[in-house]
Amino acid sequence: MEVANGCDVVESVSAFARRRQRGICILSGSGTVTNVTLRQPAAPGAIVTLHGRFEILSLSGSFLPPPAPPSATGLTIYLAGGQGQVVGGSVVGQLIASGPVVIMSASFGNAAYERLPLEDEETSLPMQSGGPLGSPGAVGQQSLQQQQQQLMPDPNTALFQGLPPNLLNSCNLPSEAYWATSRPPY
């Protein structure tokens, strides 16, 4: 993605995610930005506003479309100043592009917001009772084992189709490091 000069990077990516109903994962970015407001991780609650022009060193984050809560969206940036200082943190205000800002990202059409840990979902399989006091009988245990076997395919046939089993683990590595030239002692 490219964000044009004078546009807010955060708002541009957020609007793209909303309009297209896509989840966006920002992997990296390059370009220059001005007047950045950051929350720095070292001091909890410390918000710093940086005035001037800064080069993007690192850019990462995620944007999820509604109905995900706003807390699911965030952007982390590390910047280099004109004197060589490096500063970074979570973007909490505008991030205005000063020239084109190029963003490398991945987008997801079926992005979903999940809260973890998931609550225990008890799924009970219908089993025939053959023992005392409703304990599962042998017929119920056999059907459960058959269902589990159907769910788990043979890994050798699904993953490496067409390769004979003897080629799957045919690489043997030496137990000691091999040096092509003589290595000086420590």
- Per-residue pLDDT tens over the stretch 2-15: 999 999 999 999 99
Q: Any idea which residue has 């044009």 for tokens?
A: 4
Note if the bond before 67 is cis, omega within 30 degrees: yes
> What CATH number matches the domain at 2-108, 3.30.1330.80, 3.40.50.2000, 3.40.50.10090, 3.20.20.140?
3.30.1330.80
Rounded Cα gap, residues 186 and 176, in angstroms: 16
Rounded Cα gap, residues 77 and 82, in angstroms: 16
- Return the domain boundaries, the chain: 2-108
Rounded Cα gap, residues 132 and 145, in angstroms: 21
pLDDT in tens, 140-178: 545 444 444 444 444 444 444 554 554 444 444 444 544
Provide the residue-wise pLDDT of the chain in tens; the chain has 186 residues: 999 999 999 999 999 999 999 999 999 999 999 989 999 877 777 898 999 999 999 999 999 988 888 888 899 999 999 888 999 999 999 999 999 999 999 999 988 888 888 876 644 445 444 445 544 444 454 544 444 444 444 444 444 455 455 444 444 444 454 445 555 565
CA torsion 161-163-164-167 (nearest 10°) is -130
Residue of 42, 45, 74, 44 lying closest to 60 (CA atoms): 74
